[in-house]
Amino acid sequence: MIPTLLTGVIPPVCTPLTPDREVDVPSLLRLVDHLMEAGVHGLFVLGSTSEAAYLTDAQRRVVVETVAGHVEGRLPVLAGVIDMTTPRVLDHVREVTRAGADAVVATAPFYARTHPAEIARHYRLIAAACPVPVVAYDLPAAVHVKLPGDVILDLAAEGALAGLKDSSGDLAAFREVVIGARTRSDITGFSVLTGSELIADAALAVGADGAVPGLANVDPRGYVRLFELCRGGDWELARAEQERLCGLFGMVTVGDPGRMGGSSSALGAFKAALHLRGVIECAATAEPQVALSPEEIERVGKFWAGAGLL
Amino acid sequence: MIPTLLTGVIPPVCTPLTPDREVDVPSLLRLVDHLMEAGVHGLFVLGSTSEAAYLTDAQRRVVVETVAGHVEGRLPVLAGVIDMTTPRVLDHVREVTRAGADAVVATAPFYARTHPAEIARHYRLIAAACPVPVVAYDLPAAVHVKLPGDVILDLAAEGALAGLKDSSGDLAAFREVVIGARTRSDITGFSVLTGSELIADAALAVGADGAVPGLANVDPRGYVRLFELCRGGDWELARAEQERLCGLFGMVTVGDPGRMGGSSSALGAFKAALHLRGVIECAATAEPQVALSPEEIERVGKFWAGAGLL
Amino acid sequence: MIPTLLTGVIPPVCTPLTPDREVDVPSLLRLVDHLMEAGVHGLFVLGSTSEAAYLTDAQRRVVVETVAGHVEGRLPVLAGVIDMTTPRVLDHVREVTRAGADAVVATAPFYARTHPAEIARHYRLIAAACPVPVVAYDLPAAVHVKLPGDVILDLAAEGALAGLKDSSGDLAAFREVVIGARTRSDITGFSVLTGSELIADAALAVGADGAVPGLANVDPRGYVRLFELCRGGDWELARAEQERLCGLFGMVTVGDPGRMGGSSSALGAFKAALHLRGVIECAATAEPQVALSPEEIERVGKFWAGAGLL
Amino acid sequence: MIPTLLTGVIPPVCTPLTPDREVDVPSLLRLVDHLMEAGVHGLFVLGSTSEAAYLTDAQRRVVVETVAGHVEGRLPVLAGVIDMTTPRVLDHVREVTRAGADAVVATAPFYARTHPAEIARHYRLIAAACPVPVVAYDLPAAVHVKLPGDVILDLAAEGALAGLKDSSGDLAAFREVVIGARTRSDITGFSVLTGSELIADAALAVGADGAVPGLANVDPRGYVRLFELCRGGDWELARAEQERLCGLFGMVTVGDPGRMGGSSSALGAFKAALHLRGVIECAATAEPQVALSPEEIERVGKFWAGAGLL
């Protein structure tokens, strides 16, 4: 069961693939165990870090069924319903909730040109049809629109949204939602989560309820420790831990920008690190991403060692 | 059967919907007849003007089966396979070719961050798996990346691409592809199509093989006439016809920008015009688009009358 | 005296520099003669191709005085007044008109965040203070805003603007202004000029009054010939000439994008070609632009030879 | 004399104007006193909040002479040298240092298309010619390029840059520079300042040396208090003070977005508040900005009262 309020570290779970690009279920189960043993507070499948944009509908189904079936309610399982517009998102809502998701995470419409009024309508229609809580996913780098803070807060007040996962990088706008969610009398139980790997401490300091950092696949204990330090008000130690994680995050730049895009490099690095740690069987990323070279993978290992993870 | 080279007017066919947002098959058949009677040279279903981004997989299947089944090879039927990345696009390729599409039209990856090398890989993988010709769809307004001309031409030379549908609005870049396709000795039978409503004459003058204008739903005879005037080198009359169509295109601005986005306004206007002409039963657009008001629809009628279509 | 309507080929005149980056007056005079001998119809100094953004106020003054003094009214001399906002632009207006400019060319405000109402106010204030005609300069690549067509047309109707130099690359929007300027009864004598090197023929075909192509520094005869072919309605020969010029324009890509920006490459190539032709003494571009390497300059020569200019 | 390291609250000083848009020197002196009495640690004139983009060269000179002459070394006075490229910036460097500036603040080149290598060259040339320290100004909203963190750090190591004023809103990128400046052994005495009004506490928490918030014109005591709380590690009280200031900052939205741009609204609100407080004589902003209406100014007063400033 999903708690009233999502809090803590909720990694966006990588989707391990076999060499021929099918979901590698045993590796996925090992990854989930690896995260749960580290003490994470929830799991987010089918997010951007999960390569949801690259998974077929059949593969998405396998992921949610596998993870929800394995977790069996010990932790909340959030599932992305990443698609272009309301009718297509609703199809995913049906699939992921049937497969056991405790909450869904939906972006603004994309590909289609959109408008704040249409974004609000989109979330209202999703909420009306969805049997579990709906979390808004603010990811301008992918959908090319920033979710307006006032729209989010109004949808929270209506009960259409149960939370926000903010991956915009804009901490000032994030704070506006945090303050609004806390001070508006018509809003209760709204969870504000940061998607940042690099300023999770700052987001928690301004009032975030939790964090959804992709790097938590690689170092879940680090982010759990960071969360506990922040919760305890131990900001000095939190900063030190965050800076260690910033160093580790440098791995996302190992890929040659002349040869591949940022997604190939970052997701390739996360998967290479999980492979090096023995968590997943194969580091392949989905098509048409470009694979890291052996030298680039070696550099991933150095970031890992540099962060004291050996 | 698809001809060696796509040429002429190939409207991106609107998808008529019922009031409860299901595909309105009888209206779709009437629309196809309306277009064929006007003398169009091909049909493009599941493009952006078709609201492909808003249609579920089941609805997309209905559209292709309906149109391909009705056309029965009298004209080439192109089908969009609009989705975020290669694995998802390949699922659509299987569906639309099974349903009878003569060619597929695919954008660059979107939502995911991408790179020219990944775009090339994307098209190569699609071409390798696709039993019919593949046309690249350049639509930066939707996918937020411009297809590089040299990548397109190299893919044409390899035989991975059979054509380009350019909706970028950038005629200089379009011309680069037109000239390259004509002058490179390693390229044959590559079709260069403009998606512009407003400068179709100029695109044909610089060497385009055809046009895919959304407004051709509303005035197919106008675009067929324009194509024939251009083909015949009658540039003065072509310009006059094009300017008449520019006036008609003004209908896309009827929607109040404070209340809706550009897609709601433009697609709403096209559908309202088709409804006014008696071609389709209902002017509804897909969710979460906002409906035009009665006053806005009245203004659509004025554009229609102003273009001499009464 | 400036004619009622600016028409024809009006090159944006490069600013030759000495090795220590001062204005090279003898070279500038030779360049002006080179252009006038080719039959151009006007000269535009202190535009983007002139490196106006890189010239100090003192250098700008030298340029206008030199060119206006040399031309002595034989051709209209337009001068850019490129600066961030109205008060600063007005200082330039005073300088360039005192130095003999026949018209000024002004962009929308930049650096400062702006708004259509502020853009209109900007042009009205300039026009009110300027003793010569004002031409709007639409250059979104530099100022990061597109001049709205309706604002331009309204300012034309008020008499605040005498023309538009469009370097947006958006031929559909350009056409909107062309048609508006021709059909609105409240507008007379408004000159619509394209800044494109690559689709000047198309712009003239849709109704442009003239062209302001940077490449005309290198091949002024080519653009004059192109203009005359278009004016005579000889579209086939015009297209051939334009395509030859498109080939020549390829020189702007000689600079290594890993080592320099597009401005260093394009302006460096124009100046290298003028140096190779013996028109200017030194190919230096202004700081902080990066110089082309000898190999890159050699490639400029090949483009030149390839266009039949030897 | 400028201290080794710039720290603390350094307001970007508004430039009061008379009704006919000349610099209002008596009001400027009162504003400087108002800031110094509140305990600020430095003054930044001719920044974006100072409307530097709107001031003529003569007006800029008046501002620096007035402020530097009045301060007489009691505080460091930083001066913006906002212009498009190196040669023009160097002219401003000469002017502001002659007028008494203790440091200059320079953006990346703008209007001109640029490149990281050209940005580095730009700062190196400025530093070589400038008798006082150079601070880089990262303001992508104005110059449309983000200063790359590694370029900044390398320039710091070379001694070309003495500090960074970051107004990008990207706290993760800011932190990269903070950590680099602290941990790289080849960098000493580099000052990292945030330009944010809304997350100054977070920036200080991650290690900023100071803040340059435009809103400090209106409530300098608030930001001085915030800085001292952060310096003292009293993060709870700091957050409360920051949130009070966030509420006050809401005044920047009073202007009707249908009638004016964000600059007119924000700078208009700051000046209206300073006028209401009796600090400046006239709330006028420079052309072509649009004035706030009486109702909008009334709303400024409400924000002021709401923040407990009455």
- C-D contacts at Cβ under 8 angstroms: 144
The three-class DSSP label of residue A77 is strand
Whether residue C260 and residue D118 make contact (CB cut-off 8 A), yes or no, is yes
pLDDT for the residue numbered B267: 98
- By C-alpha distance, the chain B residue nearest A22 is B87
Give C-chain residues touching D57 at CB under 8 angstroms.
Answer: 57, 88, 91
CB count within 10 Å of CB A22 equals 13
Give C-chain residues touching D288 at CB under 8 angstroms.
Answer: 85-86, 109, 118-119, 121-122, 125
Q: Are C274 and C56 in contact (CB under 8 A)?
A: no
Q: CB contact, 8 Å: A98 with chain B?
A: no
The three-class DSSP label of residue C308 is coil
Q: Are C189 and C7 in contact (CB under 8 A)?
A: no
Mutant choice from C81, C115, C167, C252 vs D, greatest count of D C-beta within 10 A: C115
Give A-chain residues touching D201 at CB under 8 angstroms.
Answer: 205-206
Q: What is the pLDDT of residues D6-50, one digit of tens each?
A: 999 999 999 999 999 999 999 999 999 999 999 999 999 999 999
Residue B283, CB half-sphere, CA atoms under 13 Å: how many? 25
Q: CB contact, 8 Å: A170 with chain D?
A: yes
Give C-chain residues touching D119 at CB under 8 angstroms.
Answer: 288
Whether residue B54 and residue A264 make contact (CB cut-off 8 A), yes or no, is no
Question: Can you tell me the mean pLDDT for C108-125?
Answer: 97
Does position C151 have pLDDT exceeding 50, yes or no? yes
Give D-chain residues touching A246 at CB under 8 angstroms.
Answer: 175-176, 179
Whether residue D171 and residue A233 make contact (CB cut-off 8 A), yes or no, is no
Share of chain D above pLDDT 90, in %: 97
CB count within 10 Å of CB C25 equals 16
Q: Over its length of 310 residues, how does chain A's per-residue pLDDT go in tens digits?
A: 455 689 999 999 999 999 999 999 999 999 999 999 999 999 999 999 999 999 999 999 999 999 999 999 999 999 999 999 999 999 999 999 999 999 999 999 999 999 999 999 999 999 999 999 999 999 999 999 999 999 999 999 999 999 999 999 999 999 999 999 999 999 999 999 999 999 999 999 999 999 999 999 999 999 999 999 999 999 999 999 999 999 999 999 999 999 999 999 999 999 999 999 999 999 999 999 999 999 999 999 999 999 988 6
- By C-alpha distance, the chain A residue nearest B142 is A111
Give A-chain residues touching D150 at CB under 8 angstroms.
Answer: none
Q: CB contact, 8 Å: C300 with chain B?
A: no
- By C-alpha distance, the chain B residue nearest C242 is B206
Distance CA D141, CA D139 (A): 5
The three-class DSSP label of residue C102 is coil
Distance CA A202, CA D205 (A): 8
Mutant choice from D62, D85, D267 vs C, greatest count of C C-beta within 10 A: D85
DSSP B241: H
Distance CA B289, CA B285 (A): 6
Give A-chain residues touching B86 at CB under 8 angstroms.
Answer: 54, 286-288
CB count within 10 Å of CB C4 equals 11
The DSSP-derived string for chain D is ---SS--EE--B----B-TTS-B-HHHHHHHHHHHHHTT-S-EEESSTTTTGGGS-HHHHHHHHHHHHHHHTTSS-EEEE---SSHHHHHHHHHHHHHTT-SEEEEEPP-SS---HHHHHHHHHHHHHH-SS-EEEEE-HHHHS-PPPHHHHHHHHHHTS-SEEEE-S-BHHHHHHHHHHHHH-TT--S-EEEE--SSSHHHHHHHT-SEE--GGGGT-HHHHHHHHHHHHTT-HHHHHHHHHHHHHHHGGGG-S-TTTS-HHHHHHHHHHHHHHHTTSSS-----TTPPPPPHHHHHHHHHHHHHTT--
**CA-based max dimension of chain C:** 55
Q: CB contact, 8 Å: C151 with chain D?
A: no
Residue D292, CB half-sphere, CA atoms under 13 Å: how many? 30
Distance CA B43, CA B267 (A): 17
D contact chains, 3+ CB pairs < 8 A? A, C
Does position C308 have pLDDT exceeding 90, yes or no? no
Q: Are A33 and A11 in contact (CB under 8 A)?
A: no
Q: Are B215 and B248 in contact (CB under 8 A)?
A: yes
Please, what is the Cα angle at B153 between B149 and B155, to 5 degrees? Answer: 120
Smallest Cβ–Cβ distance between D205 and the set A169, A198, A235 belongs to A235
pLDDT for the residue numbered D109: 98
Whether residue D196 and residue A246 make contact (CB cut-off 8 A), yes or no, is no
Structure tokens at C228: 């005359």
Average pLDDT of chain D to the nearest whole number: 97
Exposed (0-12), middle (13-18) or buried (19+): which is A103, by Cβ within 10 Å?
A: buried
Q: CB contact, 8 Å: C240 with chain B?
A: no
pLDDT for the residue numbered C171: 98
Whether residue D286 and residue C87 make contact (CB cut-off 8 A), yes or no, is yes
Q: Are B51 and B15 in contact (CB under 8 A)?
A: yes
CA–CA min distance D251, chain A (Å)? 14
Q: Are B137 and B107 in contact (CB under 8 A)?
A: yes
Whether residue A171 and residue D171 make contact (CB cut-off 8 A), yes or no, is yes
pLDDT for the residue numbered A2: 53
Question: Can you tell me the mean pLDDT for B29-38?
Answer: 98
Give D-chain residues touching C95 at CB under 8 angstroms.
Answer: none
Structure tokens at B138: 């350049």
Average pLDDT of chain B to the nearest whole number: 97
Site of tokens 């994030």:
A174
Question: Can you tell me the mean pLDDT for C179-187?
Answer: 97
Q: Are A292 and A265 in contact (CB under 8 A)?
A: yes
Whether residue C246 and residue B175 make contact (CB cut-off 8 A), yes or no, is yes
Does position D1 have pLDDT exceeding 80, yes or no? no
pLDDT for the residue numbered B12: 98
Smallest Cβ–Cβ distance between A169 and the set D170, D201, D246 belongs to D170
Structure tokens at A24: 């590698």
pTM, 2 dp: 0.97
Site of tokens 């032709």:
C277
SS3 per residue for C120-170: HHHHHHHHHHCCCCEEEEECHHHHCCCCCHHHHHHHHHHCCCCEEEECCCE
Whether residue A239 and residue D205 make contact (CB cut-off 8 A), yes or no, is yes
Q: CB contact, 8 Å: A204 with chain D?
A: no
Whether residue D125 and residue C288 make contact (CB cut-off 8 A), yes or no, is yes
Share of chain B above pLDDT 70, in %: 98
Distance CA C233, CA C211 (A): 16
Q: Are B95 and B64 in contact (CB under 8 A)?
A: yes
Whether residue B113 and residue A263 make contact (CB cut-off 8 A), yes or no, is yes
Structure tokens at A114: 């959109």
Whether residue D172 and residue A233 make contact (CB cut-off 8 A), yes or no, is no
Q: CB contact, 8 Å: B170 with chain C?
A: yes
DSSP C277: T
- By C-alpha distance, the chain A residue nearest D241 is A206
pLDDT for the residue numbered D309: 82
The answer to whether the complex's ipTM is over 0.95 is yes
Whether residue C117 and residue D259 make contact (CB cut-off 8 A), yes or no, is yes
The three-class DSSP label of residue B9 is strand
CA–CA min distance D240, chain C (Å)? 31
Give C-chain residues touching D261 at CB under 8 angstroms.
Answer: 112-115, 117-118
CA–CA min distance B146, chain A (Å)? 14
